[in-house]
């Protein structure tokens, strides 16, 4: 492989990586467009959660890895209970 061929290959590879990064940026930008609407109703809880995660990371990363799945499960259960409480009650209850 000559030097010119190697240079052309590297240039093509760089173009592919640039396109890949641009595509990923568009995907992330599309996903993040719904974040402000979500944070509007949950902002205080989000800030508190970020503070707790930061504190656990400051101590050591193992704390986050151990408690984060539990916290996420608790959050899902809380959201389900909250949505269940909005259901209409049975008239005889």
Q: Are residues 52 and 81 in the same domain?
A: yes
> What pTM does this model have?
0.39
Does residue 91 lie in a domain region? no
Q: Are residues 50 and 81 in the same domain?
A: yes
Q: Which helix (H) or strand (E) covers residue 2, if one does?
A: none
Q: Are residues 13 and 50 in the same domain?
A: no
CA distances from 91 to 20, 78, 86, 88 (A): 57, 25, 15, 9
pLDDT tens, residue by residue, 9-58: 999 999 999 999 999 998 888 877 776 666 666 777 777 888 887 777 77
The domain of 5 spans 1-33
Number of independent structural domains in the chain? 2
Does residue 93 lie in a domain region? no
Please tell me the predicted confidence (pLDDT) of residue 75. Answer: 82
């Amino acid at each position: 492989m000559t030097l010119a061929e190697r240079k052309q290959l590297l240039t093509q590879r760089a173009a592919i990586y640039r396109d890949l990064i641009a595509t990923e940026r568009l995907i992330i930008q599309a996903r993040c467009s719904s974040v402000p609407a979500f944070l509007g109703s949950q902002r205080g809880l989000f800030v508190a959660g970020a503070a707790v995660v930061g504190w656990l990371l400051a101590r050591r990363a193992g704390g986050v890895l151990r408690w984060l799945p539990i916290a996420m499960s608790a959050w899902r259960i809380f959201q389900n209970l909250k949505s269940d409480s909005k259901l209409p009650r049975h008239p005889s209850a």
